[in-house]
């Protein structure tokens, strides 16, 4: 690895990895690579899944765009960042741009609170985590305040439905970034130089399509699918832990549970956020109410979304039924739509099907754009997968069970039940 004299990743020809502002679930930190691409720590089984993905499933998964090498970098002031080697040195679209997500990442790296920023600022403090860690650049990083000027806020509700915090990105993504940096701090030795701290990280990062890049106000629902969440390689302790979570949540009775969501509230101009702890506590009726809330913009139920979402889920169900031997253990399903309605959906405007021209965020015929994507395949197994311990026959019954119940609940909401 060539060590550059400049701490600026742009000068070094590297790509500064930015926080992905709309991560609502998962435990690995998702980073923004460019406007259309995100990246996440590489898991070899997941990489092999994407490389051997059945053609019928490509419509329902993020596009796989390869892998990158990632470095942990520190400058002379102790500011830390994750930087990546571009896929191609001559690919200008992968150069760093000074967007709002870059600003939040740079502020997150500062060992003291920022000042002098213009515009409305959202502030976060991380004292609880800082007290639990030994002093280090990352400790100071997490202990500091960071600021980001944005056009929309995220209002967090805790597991009991109480409004807890207001910030400038989905707090679950922030939680994942904190945990990731803390792990890196403990895994890599301190280096007194102001250059790259160590060799490239042992794990590269997967590059995947940013499935919300076309949405102005992306409303995202993360659903953990299936009645079983542990992989074939899980230890006895992990297996028991996951089985308990499933038994005590809607995973057992519905084959699906909520792992996180954000929904844009047009009346208050902010995103309402829920996390996996909220989802675990829901009863069947609570799950139905949460789906209703995900489709409610604060002023009305977005009934025009119900048909397109059900049609896509039915199409996915047909695909899953055709995938013999696949078991999508611990994978998630994202339901996505735009919280900012097109102009023709103003209160006195015609129904989307009657609107003369579709908006940029709509499907042909003026119907609202929705998206259904499967993600997180680190524990997926199928015939021919490397180091498989079990071979299954037929399609994944737990995933199918969850999809069927999800479709039925949406149908009940549509029928006013």
- The answer to whether residues 63 and 184 belong to one domain is yes
Phi first, then psi, for residue 209 (nearest 5°) are: -60, 135
Other residues' Cβ atoms within 10 Å of the Cβ of residue 151: 11
96 assigned to some structural domain: no
- The answer to whether residues 186 and 45 belong to one domain is yes
Dump strand ranges (E) for 226-331: 256-265, 270-275
- The answer to whether residues 196 and 279 belong to one domain is no
CATH of residue 317: 3.30.470.160
Q: Which of 96, 99, 216 is nearest to 148 (CA)?
A: 99
Structure confidence by residue, pLDDT tens digits, 368-380: 899 999 999 999 9
- The answer to whether residues 201 and 337 belong to one domain is no
- The answer to whether residues 241 and 384 belong to one domain is yes
- Total count of domains within the chain: 2
- The answer to whether residues 207 and 259 belong to one domain is no
229 assigned to some structural domain: yes
126 assigned to some structural domain: no
Q: Residue 180: what pLDDT?
A: 76
- The answer to whether residues 180 and 306 belong to one domain is no
Tokens 């892998």 label which residue?
Answer: 67
Q: Which of 211, 229, 260 is the last residue of a domain?
A: 211
3-state secondary structure 127-177: HHHHHCCCCCHHHHHHHCCEEECCCCEEEEECCCCCEEEEECCCHHHHHHH
Q: Which of 211, 233, 263 is the last residue of a domain?
A: 211
- The answer to whether residues 68 and 19 belong to one domain is yes
Q: Residue 297: what pLDDT?
A: 95
For the chain, give the longest Cα–Cα distance: 65
Q: Residue 229: what pLDDT?
A: 83
- The answer to whether residues 181 and 243 belong to one domain is no
- The answer to whether residues 203 and 266 belong to one domain is no
Q: Which letter does DSSP use for residue 267 in this model?
A: T
- The answer to whether residues 266 and 302 belong to one domain is yes
Q: pLDDT tens for the chain, 417 residues: list them.
A: 222 333 344 445 788 888 888 988 887 889 999 999 999 999 999 999 999 999 999 999 999 999 999 887 776 777 677 888 876 544 333 333 334 443 443 444 443 233 333 222 222 223 222 333 333 333 333 333 233 334 566 666 655 555 555 555 677 777 777 777 777 767 665 543 344 454 667 678 999 999 999 999 999 999 999 998 888 888 889 889 888 888 889 999 999 999 999 999 999 888 999 999 999 999 999 999 999 999 999 999 999 999 999 999 999 999 999 999 999 999 999 999 999 987 665 555 554 443 333 433 445 556 789 999 999 999 999 988 765 566 788 999 999 999 999 999 999 999 986
350 assigned to some structural domain: no
- The answer to whether residues 370 and 249 belong to one domain is yes
β-sheet bridge partners, residue 74: 80
Measured CA to CA in angstroms, residue 294 lies from 198, 217, 226, 342 at distances of: 43, 13, 20, 18
Other residues' Cβ atoms within 10 Å of the Cβ of residue 152: 15
Residue 187 is part of which domain span?
A: 12-86+170-211
Q: Residue 334: what pLDDT?
A: 97
């Amino acid at each position: 690895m060539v060590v550059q004299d400049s701490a600026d990743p742009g000068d070094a020809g590297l790509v500064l990895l930015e926080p992905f502002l709309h991560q609502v679930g998962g435990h690995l930190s998702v980073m923004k690579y460019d406007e259309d691409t995100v990246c996440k720590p590489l898991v070899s089984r997941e990489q092999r899944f994407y490389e051997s993905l059945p053609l019928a499933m490509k419509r329902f998964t993020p596009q796989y765009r390869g892998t990158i090498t990632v470095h942990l970098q520190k400058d002379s002031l102790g500011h830390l960042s994750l930087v990546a080697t571009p896929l191609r040195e001559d690919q200008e679209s992968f150069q760093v741009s000074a967007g709002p997500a870059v600003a939040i990442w740079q502020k997150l790296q500062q060992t003291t609170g920022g000042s002098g920023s213009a515009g409305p600022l959202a502030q976060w403090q991380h004292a609880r985590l800082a007290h639990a860690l030994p002093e280090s650049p990352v400790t100071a990083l997490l202990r500091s305040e960071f600021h980001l000027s944005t056009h929309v806020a995220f209002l967090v509700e805790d597991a009991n439905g109480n409004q807890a915090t207001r910030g400038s990105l989905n707090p679950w993504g922030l939680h994942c970034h904190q945990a990731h940096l803390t792990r890196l701090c403990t895994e890599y030795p301190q280096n007194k130089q102001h250059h790259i701290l160590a060799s490239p990280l042992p794990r590269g990062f997967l590059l995947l399509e940013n499935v919300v890049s076309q949405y102005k106000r992306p409303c995202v629902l993360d659903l953990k699918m299936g009645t079983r969440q542990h992989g074939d390689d899980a230890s006895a302790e992990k297996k028991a832990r996951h089985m308990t979570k499933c038994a005590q949540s809607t995973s057992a009775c519905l084959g699906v549970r909520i792992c996180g969501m954000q929904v844009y509230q047009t009346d208050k101009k902010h995103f309402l956020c829920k996390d996996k702890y909220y989802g675990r506590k829901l009863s069947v009726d609570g799950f139905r109410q949460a789906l209703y809330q995900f489709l409610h913009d604060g002023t009305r139920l977005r009934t025009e979304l119900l048909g397109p979402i059900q049609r896509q889920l039915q199409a996915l169900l047909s695909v899953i039924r055709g995938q013999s031997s696949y078991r999508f253990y611990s994978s998630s399903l994202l339901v996505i739509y735009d919280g900012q309605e097109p102009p023709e959906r103003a209160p006195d405007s015609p129904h989307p099907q009657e609107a003369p021209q579709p908006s940029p965020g709509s499907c042909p015929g003026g119907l609202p754009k929705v998206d259904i994507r499967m993600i997180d395949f680190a524990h997926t197994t199928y015939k021919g997968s490397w180091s498989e311990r079990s071979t299954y026959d037929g399609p994944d019954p737990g995933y199918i069970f969850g999809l069927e119940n999800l479709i039925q609940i949406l149908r009940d909401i549509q029928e006013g039940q």
